[in-house]
Amino acid sequence: MLHLTAGRVAGLFSRRGVAALSSSSVKMASHGHGGVTEQADMSVPLYWDRLDTPLPDRPYKDTLSAADKSLKQKEKGPWNSLSKEEKLALYRITFNETYAEMKKPTGEWKTVMGGIFFFIGFTGLVVLWQRYYVYPPHPRTLDEEWQAMQVQRMLDMRVSPIEGISAKWDYEKGQWK
């Protein structure tokens, strides 16, 4: 046990030493898994397509190509001179998806329902396994013949003769009223 702990401690110090001597101070080792993570700067404006936020903080494309720059210059003029394709290209510079594309149904519900049915089925198998291998067998008092003998015993003892089971039995004919 001590050998295992000493090996872990030595491995921890060696990984931390390499991470401390690396050239980048912004990057850090992610808990010794060998991967390097970068921290996102949340102070800069971000882009996202959301139905409840029609205008994101920044345009979709930050770096424009030469064709996009000439199109942006053309945008400053009259819009009647722009073709439908140019207007669509201008829209795609600012936005990634239209409202119709954002509202388009996804197949995620199929995955959710599949997961729900999988876990319901797995739970059913666990309950069935428990019924056969974990729980004891049913007591004899739940058998039909035992219950019939119990009812006959109650009738013989004339239990609850006014409103109970004996009141519903015809003792002369030997049948239920």
| Annotated domain spans of the chain | 44-104, 107-135, 140-176
Q: What percent of the chain has pLDDT over 70?
A: 80
34: left (phi over 0), alpha (psi -120 to 50) or beta: left
pTM of this prediction?
0.46
List Cβ neighbours of 109 (8 Å cut-off, separation of 6 or more).
none
Residue 48 has pLDDT above 90, yes or no: no
Block residue for tokens 């291998």 = 133
> Rounded distance, CA 170 to CA 58, Å?
89
Give the integer Cα–Cα distance in Å for 75 and 88. 12
Average pLDDT over residues 3-30: 50
Distance between terminal CA atoms of the chain?
Answer: 79
CATH of 44-104, one of 3.50.30.30, 3.30.70.1350, 1.10.442.10, 3.40.605.10: 1.10.442.10
